């Protein structure tokens, strides 16, 4: 997605960091949002393209009576067995990447936001982004937000976090950082400023002058 095609911003952050709030704001401002989590849910819902190969690999016990992925059962197996997680990823990731490519290519917007929780871990996605934005907050805040949102216990949340890149690793690859350690208004103000910057980088607006000290 670099070079020819749309200007692509990779948006990432740990679980509970606030990626969705930033993506929602940019979407409201006119950016095209391509969210790998949304795509994954679509692929693993009843009748989704990933259900048949997942059932073949793991058995019918990971599929609900409605024909969707039993996420709790699959999550438990994947975190207990690294080989199972790798097998699941080998099924899902190529399908997700193809849908991402298709959606980005069809987008009619000044720029595309590619929302990828594991962007830092995946060179395949990083190579497609002209810019990487990380939504950052303290790990204690991540845990509290996920517990409130999903009802998962702290042990499960920490296991999910341990399977992701560390906070330092994400920040090391960031071109831009949104600080989500305060309130929503603070988050939105940063997202709005970056939106203007991305419009300029995409060639929609002139680049603002560089500010100098003094």
Reported as a pLDDT band with limits 50, 70 and 90, residue 207 is: low
Q: What is the pTM of this model?
A: 0.86
Angle (CA) 66 70 73, round 5°: 150
> Which residues, in sequence order, are bridge partners of residue 12?
134
Give the containing element (helix H, strand E) for 25: helix 19-28
Please check the confidence at residue 214 and state whether its pLDDT lies above 70. no
Tokens for 79, please give them: 């975190």
**Rounded to whole angstroms, how far apart are CA atoms 131 and 31?**
14
Percent of the chain topping pLDDT 70: 93
**Rounded to whole angstroms, how far apart are CA atoms 10 and 131?**
6
Please check the confidence at residue 3 and state whether its pLDDT lies above 90. no
**CATH number for the domain formed by residue range(s) 1-31+109-214:** 3.40.50.300
Q: Tens digits of per-residue pLDDT, 98-108? A: 999 999 999 99
Mean pLDDT of the chain: 91
Reported as a pLDDT band with limits 50, 70 and 90, residue 182 is: very high
**Rounded to whole angstroms, how far apart are CA atoms 78 and 91?**
13
Reported as a pLDDT band with limits 50, 70 and 90, residue 83 is: very high
Strand, helix or coil for residue 117: coil
Q: Tens digits of per-residue pLDDT, 11-56? A: 999 999 999 999 999 999 999 999 999 999 999 999 999 999 999 9
Nearest one of 76, 40, 70 to 156, comparing CA atoms: 76
At residue 155, φ and ψ (nearest 5 deg) are -60, -45
How is the chain split into domains, by residue range? 1-31+109-214, 38-108
Please check the confidence at residue 185 and state whether its pLDDT lies above 90. yes
Nearest one of 83, 95, 94 to 57, comparing CA atoms: 83
Tokens for 70, please give them: 């039993």
Query: Are 26 and 191 within 8 A, CB to CB?
Result: yes
């Amino acid at each position: 997605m670099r070079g020819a095609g749309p200007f692509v911003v990779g948006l990432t952050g740990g679980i509970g960091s606030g990626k969705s709030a930033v993506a929602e704001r940019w979407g409201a401002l006119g950016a095209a949002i391509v969210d790998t989590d949304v795509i994954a849910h679509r692929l693993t819902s009843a009748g989704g393209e990933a259900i048949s190969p997942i059932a073949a690999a793991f058995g019918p016990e990971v599929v609900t009576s409605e024909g969707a992925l039993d996420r709790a059962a699959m999550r438990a197996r994947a975190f207990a067995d690294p080989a199972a997680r790798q097998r699941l990823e080998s099924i899902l990731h190529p399908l997700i990447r193809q849908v991402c490519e298709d959606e980005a290519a069809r987008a009619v917007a000044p720029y595309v936001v590619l929302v990828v929780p594991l962007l830092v871990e995946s060179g395949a996605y990083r190579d497609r982004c002209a810019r990487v934005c990380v939504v950052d907050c303290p790990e204690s805040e991540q845990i509290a937000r996920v517990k409130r949102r999903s009802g998962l216990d702290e042990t499960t949340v920490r296991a999910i976090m341990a399977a992701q890149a560390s906070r330092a690793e994400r920040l090391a690859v960031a071109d831009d950082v949104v600080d989500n350690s305060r309130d929503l208004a603070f988050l939105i103000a940063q997202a709005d400023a970056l939106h203007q910057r991305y419009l300029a980088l995409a060639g929609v607006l002139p680049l603002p002058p560089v500010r100098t000290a003094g």
